[in-house]
């Protein structure tokens, strides 16, 4: 089937671009650190397996339910790069460690005790990373003393392995200028180095520091303070990442994810309406862009409509014509679909299920 | 099971509030017009059946796939209050008319011809409404002459019934002041009256005008220009509707939809982080609100986190505590979940499947 024959809205992967993105990441990293790709972006075991085949040690997830999907899909090393709270989720996480190497983050001593108890009940052990807040002001204990205390708590538990530090600076990923992102990551790295030194001075070995995202990972690598990176969006990119300044040392990634939409209304010459609104392309980080259609601009969306302004002189799309949109934000857009329509050279080559779509719990 | 035992994030309906909202709509309308509830809000056959039991003539949908779910769920009268474009969708729509009364909107003559052909092929007839743009600047032909021409096109087709006008003013629903919404709807009604008169002057009977939403429907009724209303959000409400001025003649609707979230991190005294981010509560119309927790404010979200600021002196939530969030926008939030957890008096009474979740095509 040709791409134009696919009914819409549909979530489309350009396979050549995806494959080049996979290679470019590993070429840029060049073995300096471990790559643990973030599966919260794609939620798809097929893509996770390709990331591992390209050199990733495994994946990270944000939810236990995502980790369950990844383990079921054959991924042997999964880090839940997030805190997990509540007896039901802890029991599932501990149970999952029967089937794969599983890690998790902590920022609370009571949670450490509950994790240990869950592992004792399941007869398993988890890798536990102490999350430190390196600037995102979200989860994580403060760098330094608080992190040392928590690392000791973890290390003292029979059913937990203290695996190191989680130090992800989410807020830095979309600082637009390269220099701003580099500066934010250098501050994060200073906090990491100091914390790791204090932990090791307390006679607790700190095997690994993990963190970084698609917008910053080469800066983390340059600091020498990180052992592992967690990029997710690099495989797809989106309109928000495209607004970042992007230059060496970051490799150039290509847009590989699109929403295919149909023009469903041409009420006046200067306006087209497509059948993809905010239930088809998440707008939390801005409106979608039109792909390779100069003069066409998505100016607003409602639940099921995208309103496109046609500039004077632009090639105007006809009723029924199909257009490719670049989502504002790839991760929550993926979460709206059941499957990817994978295309190469304009032909559908595969459908990949998004098994962890809606995996919230 | 008690609400506090439900694992999170979960989409919760307060059944008492939902049932009162159902009654309040029909009490306010008092038989002056037909109620056709909008199922794009809830995407759930169980709720649609309750709307019909409360007096609605049927439902409307925005997508053929939603209409298929509603017909499969026993709804006998479904209007796709939207244009449908493309041979595959038109065939499905025409086919659906074997099993229920099905309506659709048009704003293009070629689309009318294709609809007619699809019905001829299926051996069915559709109710066809000409959509006019009454101020939303989205789909729809201009009121007046263009609408008359299109109504004649529809009326001339052997397999289509010209059913009247679709005149929904989406942009008016969230004008904050009652007076602004009333003024916008009075302009819409003037366009409706003039168009209907011109169509009937052309000897084409115009049986019905349908439109209106939860933020404006009593204004449409007051104009006398509408025969049917299409409110959707009234059953649930949301944070964005709560920002509207709300007074008679609109009945007071209650918040009936919530996202149950767990505090997963308490990194500093003034901050709590919940496990519900923008994949659990759509932020297209603003951040979620905390329900009945004065001093707690959701200040930002990321994919899987909601960051809550705790004002000095506020009752601070503990790690593991569950909180109810009021979504910014009900429709796209519902579209993130597989089921509703229906609660009465703090106990789970039912789980209702959201059969049309992700029904995009």
Return the CATH number at B95. 3.20.20.10
> CB of B247 within 8 Å of any CB in chain A?
no
- Domain final position from B201, B235, B269: B235
Mutate to test the interface with A, among B4, B38, B64, B85 (most CBs of A within 10 A): B85
Looking at the fold, whether B190 and B323 belong to one and the same domain comes out as no
Question: B65 lies in a domain?
Answer: yes
Looking at the fold, whether B158 and B268 belong to one and the same domain comes out as no
Looking at the fold, whether A44 and A119 belong to one and the same domain comes out as yes
Residue B10: the pLDDT is 98
Residue B116: the pLDDT is 98
- Domain final position from B202, B235, B268: B235
Looking at the fold, whether B267 and B336 belong to one and the same domain comes out as yes
Side-chain-side CA neighbours of A180 within 13 Å: the count stands at 12
Question: A345 lies in a domain?
Answer: yes
> CB of A270 within 8 Å of any CB in chain B?
no
Question: A283 lies in a domain?
Answer: yes
In angstroms, the CA B75 to CA B67 distance is: 9
Question: B124 lies in a domain?
Answer: yes
Distances (CA, A) of A288 to A266, A325, A329, B214, B342: 19, 6, 8, 28, 35
> Domain of A166?
32-233
Looking at the fold, whether B176 and B220 belong to one and the same domain comes out as yes
Question: A246 lies in a domain?
Answer: no
pLDDT tens-digit profile of A281-321?
A: 999 999 999 999 999 999 999 999 999 999 999 999 999 99
Return the CATH number at A338. 2.40.37.20
Low-confidence residues of chain A, pLDDT below 50?
A: none
Mutate to test the interface with A, among B171, B279, B283, B310 (most CBs of A within 10 A): B279
Looking at the fold, whether B204 and B122 belong to one and the same domain comes out as yes
Are the C-beta atoms of residues B335 and B310 closer than 8 Å to each other? no
In angstroms, the CA A282 to CA A268 distance is: 26
pLDDT tens-digit profile of A4-26?
A: 999 999 999 999 999 999 999 99
Are the C-beta atoms of residues A140 and A132 closer than 8 Å to each other? yes
Predicted complex ipTM: 0.97
Residue B5: the pLDDT is 96
Looking at the fold, whether A168 and A267 belong to one and the same domain comes out as no
Looking at the fold, whether B304 and B193 belong to one and the same domain comes out as no
Looking at the fold, whether A260 and A223 belong to one and the same domain comes out as no
Task: Domain count for chain A, please give it.
Answer: 2
- Which residues is B310 bridged to in the sheet? B296
- Domain final position from A167, A200, A233: A233
- Residue A309 makes CB contacts below 8 A (sequence gap 6+) with A270, A271, A296, A297, A299
B137 and A271 within 8 Å at the Cβ level: the answer is yes
Question: A52 lies in a domain?
Answer: yes
Nearest to A336 among B9, B283, B358 (CB): B358
Instruction: Tell me how crowded residue B254 is: count the other CB atoms within 10 A of its CB.
Output: 15
Looking at the fold, whether B89 and B228 belong to one and the same domain comes out as yes
* Start-to-end Cα distance in chain B: 36
Interface of B with A in 51-90 (CB under 8 A): 62-63, 82-86, 88-89
Looking at the fold, whether B224 and B287 belong to one and the same domain comes out as no
Question: B15 lies in a domain?
Answer: no
Name the band, by pLDDT with cuts 50, 70 and 90, for residue B195. Answer: very high
- Which residues is A208 bridged to in the sheet? A164
* Nearest in space to B281 (alpha carbons), one of B242, B347, B323, B328: B328
In angstroms, the CA A360 to CA B359 distance is: 19
Looking at the fold, whether A203 and A266 belong to one and the same domain comes out as no
Are the C-beta atoms of residues A150 and A107 closer than 8 Å to each other? yes
Question: A182 lies in a domain?
Answer: yes
pLDDT tens-digit profile of B66-124?
A: 999 999 999 999 999 999 999 999 999 999 999 999 999 999 999 999 999 999 999 99
């Amino acid at each position: 089937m040709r791409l134009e024959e696919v009914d819409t809205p549909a979530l489309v992967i350009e396979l050549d671009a995806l494959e080049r993105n996979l290679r470019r990441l590993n070429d840029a990293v060049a073995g300096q650190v471990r790559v643990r790709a973030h599966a919260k972006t794609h939620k798809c075991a097929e893509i996770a397996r390709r990331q591992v085949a390209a050199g990733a040690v495994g994946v990270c997830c944000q939810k236990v339910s995502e980790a369950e999907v990844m383990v079921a899909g054959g991924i042997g090393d999964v880090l839940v790069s997030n805190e997990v709270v509540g007896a039901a989720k802890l029991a599932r996480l501990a149970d999952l460690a029967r089937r794969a190497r599983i890690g998790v983050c902590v920022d609370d001593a009571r949670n450490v005790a509950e994790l240990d108890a869950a592992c004792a009940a399941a007869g398993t052990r988890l890798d536990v990373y102490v999350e430190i807040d390196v600037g995102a002001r979200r989860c994580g204990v403060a760098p330094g003393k608080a992190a040392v205390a928590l690392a000791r708590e973890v290390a003292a538990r029979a059913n937990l392995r203290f695996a190191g530090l989680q130090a992800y600076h989410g807020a830095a990923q979309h600082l637009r200028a390269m220099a701003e992102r580099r500066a934010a990551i250098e501050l994060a790295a200073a906090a990491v180095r100091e914390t790791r030194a204090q932990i090791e001075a307390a006679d607790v070995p700190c095997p690994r520091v993990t963190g970084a995202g698609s917008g910053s990972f080469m800066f983390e690598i340059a600091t020498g303070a990180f052992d592992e990176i967690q990029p997710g969006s690099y495989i797809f990119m989106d309109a928000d990442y495209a607004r970042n300044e992007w230059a060496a040392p970051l490799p150039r990634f290509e847009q590989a994810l699109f929403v295919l939409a149909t023009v469903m209304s041409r009420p006046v010459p200067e306006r087209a309406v497509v059948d993809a609104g905010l239930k088809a392309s998440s707008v939390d980080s801005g409106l979608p862009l039109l792909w390779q259609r100069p003069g066409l601009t998505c100016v607003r969306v409602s639940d099921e409509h995208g309103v496109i302004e046609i500039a004077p002189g632009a090639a105007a799309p006809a009723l029924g014509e199909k257009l490719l949109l670049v989502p504002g934000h790839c991760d929550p857009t993926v979460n709206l679909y059941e499957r990817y329509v994978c295309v190469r050279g304009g032909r559908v080559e595969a459908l990949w299920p998004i098994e962890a779509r809606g995996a919230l719990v």
